[in-house]
């Protein structure tokens, strides 16, 4: 039965299964056995391809980041004005995809992991730098030198609002979240113009 070239197929299956299992458990308290089962293979094979549990988790985190990055980039190319680019970042950050249970869970556990696992910390830094540079690029034409400080604030605001929305009872109050940040931005940009 062994067909060749299975490695990438098995790996992506494991990554997806990992994310789903993390969502189901709400934590990283997930066994290799559960992941392998959901991915339709033996635990031995999971170990064979990834070498260990931590590496499976990191691959899953990388995947989440990749999806998010793709979403932002996809929305950005369509946006021609700075305002539209800001809006695109917001919409991508609060898209329904980011409020799926598995994704929320992955992000929260990502933060936890970042405290102790260098790999996770690096990935988180990548995400933050990318967001920051996107924000600065969009804000510069609107507020000039204040762009960097404003981007810091908006970045933190996105994280904080996401955190609250993700953990609120009403699942995915995304529209209100975006609205809040939009209002903030409008006020800050306005201020500059006057």
**Binding test (CB under 7 A) with DNA, winner from 52, 141, 160, 171:** 52
Give least dist CB 188 to a copy of itself, A: 7
Q: How far apart are CA 63 and CA 16, in angstroms?
A: 9
**Chain residues 1-30 in contact with DNA, contact rule CB under 7 A:** 1-7, 10, 30
| The one among 27, 31, 133, 168 contacting DNA by CB under 7 A | 31
142-161 binders of DNA (CB under 7 A): none
> From CA 192, how far away is CA 194, in angstroms rounded?
6
Q: Taking the complex as a whole, how short is the minimal distance between the CB of residue 142 and a copy of itself, in angstroms?
A: 15
Verify binding: residue 180, a copy of itself, rule CB under 8 A.
yes
**Contacts (CB under 8 A) with a copy of itself, residues 72-101:** 101
**Interaction of residue 130 with a copy of itself, rule CB under 8 A:** no
Three-state SS sequence of the chain: CCCCCHHHHHHHHHHHHHHHHHHHHCCCCCCHHHHHHHCCCCHHHHHHHHCCHHHHHHHHHHHHHHHHHHHHHHHHHHCCCHHHHHHHHHHHHCCHHHHCHHHHHHHHHHHHHHHHCHHHHHHHHHHHHHHHHHHHHHHHHHHHHHHHHHHHHHHHHHHHHHHHHHHCCCCCCHHHHHHHHHHHHHHHHHHHHC
Taking CB under 8 A as the binding criterion, the range among 42-50, 58-66, 74-82, 146-154 that sits at the site for a copy of itself is: 146-154
* Least distance between DNA and beta carbon 147 (Å): 44
Q: Which residues bind DNA (CB under 7 A)?
A: 1-7, 10, 30-34, 41-45, 47-48, 51-54
Q: Which residues bind a copy of itself (CB under 8 A)?
A: 25-28, 101, 104-105, 108-109, 111-116, 121, 124, 128, 149, 152-153, 155-161, 163-164, 167, 180, 183-184, 187-188, 191
């Amino acid at each position: 039965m062994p067909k060749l070239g299975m490695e990438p197929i098995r790996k992506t299956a494991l990554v997806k299964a990992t994310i789903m299992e993390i969502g189901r458990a709400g934590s990283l308290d997930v066994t290799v056995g559960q992941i392998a089962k959901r991915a339709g293979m033996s635990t031995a094979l999971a170990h064979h391809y990834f070498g260990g549990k931590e590496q499976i988790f990191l691959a899953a985190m990388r995947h989440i980041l990749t999806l998010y990055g793709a979403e932002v980039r996809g929305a950005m190319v369509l946006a021609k004005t700075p305002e539209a680019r800001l809006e695109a970042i917001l919409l991508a950050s609060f898209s329904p995809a980011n409020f799926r249970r598995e994704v929320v869970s992955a992000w929260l556990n990502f933060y936890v992991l970042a405290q102790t696992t260098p790999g996770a910390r690096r990935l988180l830094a990548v995400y933050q730098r990318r967001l920051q540079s996107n924000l600065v690029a969009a804000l510069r034409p609107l507020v000039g030198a204040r762009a960097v400080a404003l981007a810091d604030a908006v970045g933190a605001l996105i994280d904080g609002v996401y955190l609250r929305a993700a953990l609120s009872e009403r699942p995915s109050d995304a529209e209100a979240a975006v609205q809040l940040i939009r209002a903030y931005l409008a006020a800050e940009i306005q201020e500059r113009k006057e």
